[in-house]
Amino acid sequence: MNVLRKAVSALGGIFLAALLIAALAPKATHGLVAALVQVTNTSSNPAATLDNAHAAPWIVDLVCAAAPAGGNTGSCGPGGAAFTVPGGLALVITSMEFTPATPGAGVYAPQLITTTGGVNSDRGEQYYLPCASTTQLQFPSSGIVIGPNQELSFNNLKGSACGIYLINIHGYETAF
């Protein structure tokens, strides 16, 4: 029992001495800790670094102008104004909401179109949606990526009883 008491007393003394040194010399202690956890960024052992310009903090909400049956929406953007993805960035669409102005029978068939320098490009994303209610499409794993300097619009490939549709696009901009 005396051996255990002496061992505990010795360990307690060492612990108190370490606390006293840390309290009296914090800069030295911090320097020692920093030296122990220092990351060296070399080509053979790269450290992952990311500045805020390459993160995904820019949330984007776009509204497409009303799309008549069988016609193009025109530009999609904040409040319906034209929006072009800035150079060096990509727009990642995470969800879209399609709302008919006049719910009813029929099918709405919007097709996503991107425009670069006035030239339209069919992206191949076409959806068949009911005219009865709002439909939300979500793309949580990878999203739909729209490259830099591109504008968005939709083309309704199938006339319907829906008439006009309101399309809300949600996503974020990130480095391309």
HEC string of the chain? CHHHHHHHHHHHHHHHHHHHHHHHCHHHHHHHHHHHCCCCCCCCCCCCCCCHHHCCCEEEEEEECCCCCCCECCCEEHHHCCCECCCCEEEEEEEEEEEECCCCCCEECEEEEEEECCEEEEEEEECCEECCCCEEEECCCCCEEECCCCEEEEEECCCCCCCCEEEEEEEEEEEC
pLDDT of residue 10: 78
- What angle (nearest 5°) sits at the alpha carbon of residue 32, between those of residues 26 and 37? 125
118-163 pLDDT tens trace:
777 766 677 888 888 888 989 877 888 888 988 888 777 665 557 6
Q: Cα-flanking dihedrals φ and ψ of residue 72, to 5°? A: -95, 145
Q: How many angstroms separate the first and last alpha carbons of the chain?
A: 68
Distance CA 169, CA 136 (A): 10
CB atoms within 10 A of CB 134: 14
pLDDT of residue 167: 85
What is 53-175's CATH topology? Answer: Jelly Rolls (2.60.120)
Query: Which residues in the chain land under pLDDT 50?
Result: none
pLDDT of residue 4: 75
pLDDT of residue 95: 92
Distance CA 77, CA 96 (A): 13
Is 0.75 topped by the overall pTM?
A: no
